[in-house]
Amino acid sequence: MSAQIQLPAQIRIGGGAVRELPALLRELGSVRPLLVTDPGMVELGHARLVEGILTDAGLPVSTFSDTEQEPSSASIERGVDAFARDHFDALIALGGGSAIDSAKAIGVLAFHGGRMRDYAVPNDVESSGIPLIAIPTTAGTGSEATRFTVITDSDSQEKMLCRGRAFLPAAAIVDYEFTLTAPARLTADTGIDALTHAIEAYVSRRASPFTDDLALAAMSHLAGNLDRACSTPSDRDAREAMMLGACQAGMAFSNASVCLVHGMSRPVGALFHVPHGLSNAMLLPAVTRFSAAAAPERYARCCVAMGWCGPDTPAPEALAALISGLEALNRRLEVPGPEAFGIVREQWFAHLESMAAQAEASGSPANNPRVPTREEMVALYTEVWGNA
Ligand SMILES: [Fe+2]
């Protein structure tokens, strides 16, 4: 059986790679790009750095910085309005996953028209028409290399998964120097998100030998450097490895899909505004415990790749080491449970059924080695509350 692999046509990766932006734009035939970013990037000076690179290359500078964390469909429509104000011929996305996800959605909506909900799963979108260069500033979502975006419906507050080649950037610039200023909390949350991508891509029912190698390499880079990147933000080697691992994990899960952790995590983020990586981290140990017996060899190899057990460790011991390792990682990185995060108990339990229904509707749980019933997802949400 063959596997279908879709990747950005170009990836420039390494310290200082952002300087190659004008060359990439030339290759794409763009002379009037719109920079899509967020207020944080403006405040940090990263947007100004990119604008300066464009100016030095004789390119016009236009910036839309009104994107949101956990972007809403209303914010995407504002971006589409900004794109329509001039004859823009490409998009540059600068920021974390939210800015890149926003630019992907703006590109699709600007080209095809309609509303964001029209492009949510199960409707795949294959042609964008507007080239996008993604420049991630966190080692996390891997969105620069994926054919997915996640947009929250402003009417229903549902996190909509949108997928298809139209959401895959034409090119990515992966420059770890942007991450040197990321604080520990952001580094931890985004790093655990990337680690979750790698694990889920590896255990997914849709994994292939191509994605397996990427996922295992990503796990090694991420687990081996996450603590260092959090404790010593200026550690260039750790930052570079994290950025590489996050990009590899993105390439892996874009072609193998994510599974139950992400399926259950999206409703938590949408309803309770928990940052994406943090809601993944809350769920990862419990979901791994739930799933491990359905693919023991696969989960055992994850543990080996992360350096948490030796290659000859019998699978049952490796599974135990994996689960205790994930729990210990959460403790070291001070991941709160739902209650410690500030979620009201009654609210959490009132939404168990609707969260499970939304998780199931996203399709991600169906990729899990053990496909849960809705009742089992309700039980997992209940367990995760109890672990707090
Ligand atoms: Fe994710």
pLDDT digits (tens, 9 = 90+) for 177-226: 999 999 999 999 999 999 999 999 999 999 999 999 999 999 999 999 99
Q: Does the 10-178 domain belong in CATH 3.40.50.1970?
A: yes
- Whole-number Å distance, alpha carbon 174 to ligand 1 midpoint, is 17
pLDDT of residue 157: 84
Residue 171 — φ and ψ, nearest 5°?
A: -150, 155
To which residue do tokens 């991508």 refer? Answer: 197
H-only helix segments in 58-157: 73-84, 97-112
- Whole-number Å distance, alpha carbon 30 to ligand 1 midpoint, is 30
Exposure string for 188-224, b = 16+ CB within 10 A, e = fewer: bbbbbbbbbbbbbbbbbebbbebbbebbbbbbbbbbb
pLDDT of residue 385: 94
Residue at 386: amino acid letter: G
pLDDT of residue 387: 63
Q: Kindly list the averaged pLDDT for each block of 10 residues, start to end, along the chain of length 388.
A: 92 97 96 97 97 98 95 96 96 96 97 93 86 97 94 89 94 98 95 98 98 98 97 97 98 96 94 93 98 97 98 96 97 95 96 96 94 98 84
- Whole-number Å distance, alpha carbon 256 to ligand 1 midpoint, is 13
H-only helix segments in the chain: 21-28, 39-44, 46-56, 73-84, 97-112, 184-203, 209-231, 236-256, 260-272, 276-291, 296-305, 315-332, 338-341, 345-350, 352-362, 374-386
- Whole-number Å distance, alpha carbon 62 to ligand 1 midpoint, is 29
- Whole-number Å distance, alpha carbon 216 to ligand 1 midpoint, is 17
**Cβ–Cβ under 8 Å, residues 152 and 158:** yes
- Whole-number Å distance, alpha carbon 350 to ligand 1 midpoint, is 25
- Whole-number Å distance, alpha carbon 266 to ligand 1 midpoint, is 9
Residue at 286: amino acid letter: A
Task: Count Cβ atoms within 10 A of the Cβ of residue 53 and give its class: 0-12 exposed, 13-18 middle, 19 or more buried.
Answer: middle
- Whole-number Å distance, alpha carbon 7 to ligand 1 midpoint, is 17
pTM: 0.95
- Whole-number Å distance, alpha carbon 74 to ligand 1 midpoint, is 22
| Dihedral sign computed on CA atoms, order 380, 353, 254, 135 | negative
- Whole-number Å distance, alpha carbon 114 to ligand 1 midpoint, is 26
Q: CATH number of the domain at 184-386, please?
A: 1.20.1090.10
CA-CA distances (angstroms) from residue 244 to 102, 150, 251? 22, 22, 11
Pairing verdict, β 159-163 and 132-136 = unpaired
Chain centre distance of CA 45: 23
pLDDT of residue 386: 80
pLDDT of residue 292: 97
pLDDT of residue 261: 98
- Whole-number Å distance, alpha carbon 23 to ligand 1 midpoint, is 30
Q: At what angle do helices 315-332 and 296-305 cross, to 10 degrees?
A: 50
pLDDT of residue 16: 98
**Cβ–Cβ under 8 Å, residues 94 and 46:** yes
Residue 187's closest CA among 229, 129, 133?
A: 229
CA distance 362 to 225: 31
Q: Domain ranges in the chain?
A: 10-178, 184-386
